[in-house]
Amino acid sequence: MGPAIVRSALGAVDGIARIQTGDGHHSGMGILVTPRLVVTCSHVVNGAIDGRALTDASQPDPEARIVVSFPFAADQRRMATVHAWGAPGLGNPDSALLELIEDAPAEAGIAVLAELTDPTRLDGVLTVFGMTERQMLGGHVEAALTGPVAGGWWQIIGMRDIGVYAVKGFSGAAVWSRSERAVVAMLVAVASLPDGQTAFDGAALTVERRTAYAQPVAAIRAAIPAVPAEQRLVSAASQRLYAISAIILFAFMLAHLLALHSGRMLALLPYAGGSRIITAVVAVTGGACLAWLPLRLMRDHARSFRFRPWEQRLPALFVRLPSESLFNTRIGAAATLLFLLGLPLWALGDALREFHTGGYTVLVAAERFAQLGACSGHCPRPGADLFHVVSVPSVGRIGDQYFNDAYRIAANGDGSDRAVTFYPILQPILVLALSAFATFLGCSTLFELFLRRR
Of 79, 73, 70, 83, whose CA–CA distance to 22 is shortest?
A: 79
**E-strand stretches of 110-181:** 114-116, 126-130, 139-148, 154-158, 174-177
Residue 382 has what pLDDT?
81
**Res. 56: pLDDT tops 80:** yes
Residue 5 has what pLDDT?
55
- pLDDT tens column, 302-360: 999 988 888 888 887 765 544 445 556 888 889 999 999 999 999 999 999 988 877 89
Q: Please state which CATH class domain 16-231 belongs to.
A: mainly beta
Whether this prediction's pTM lies above 0.95 is answered by: no
**Res. 443: pLDDT tops 60:** yes
State the average pLDDT over residues 287-308. Answer: 94
Q: What is the overall mean pLDDT for the chain?
A: 86
**Residue 199 — very low, low, confident or very high, per pLDDT cuts 50/70/90?**
very low
State the average pLDDT over residues 42-58. Answer: 94
**E-strand stretches of 211-355:** 211-216, 230-232
**Residue 378 — very low, low, confident or very high, per pLDDT cuts 50/70/90?**
confident
Residue 372 has what pLDDT?
54
State the average pLDDT over residues 186-196. Answer: 70
Contact 315, 322 (CB under 8 A): yes
**Res. 370: pLDDT tops 80:** no
State the average pLDDT over residues 151-163. Answer: 77
Torsion (CA) 281, 283, 287, 290 in degrees, nearest 10 = 90
Which of the pair, 295 or 146, is modelled with greater confidence? Answer: 295
- pLDDT tens column, 216-261: 999 999 999 999 999 998 887 888 899 999 999 999 999 999 999 9
Lowest-pLDDT range of 54-58, 174-178, 392-396, 444-448: 392-396
Contact 188, 213 (CB under 8 A): yes
Q: Which residues contact 218 (CB under 8 A, 6 or more apart)?
A: 115, 116
Using only C-alpha atoms, the chain has a radius of gyration, in whole angstroms, of 31
**Residue 10 — very low, low, confident or very high, per pLDDT cuts 50/70/90?**
low
Lowest-pLDDT range of 215-229, 374-388, 422-436: 374-388
State the average pLDDT over residues 190-194. Answer: 61
Residue 352 has what pLDDT?
93
List, by residue range, all CATH 2.40.10.120 domains of the chain.
16-231
Contact 348, 288 (CB under 8 A): yes
Which of the pair, 326 or 433, is modelled with greater confidence? Answer: 433
Contact 158, 146 (CB under 8 A): no
**Residue 122 — very low, low, confident or very high, per pLDDT cuts 50/70/90?**
confident
**Residue 173 — very low, low, confident or very high, per pLDDT cuts 50/70/90?**
very high
Lowest-pLDDT range of 17-31, 88-102, 132-146, 158-172: 158-172
Q: Which residues contact 37 (CB under 8 A, 6 or more apart)?
A: 1, 83, 97, 98, 99, 100, 226, 227, 228
Residue 64 has what pLDDT?
93
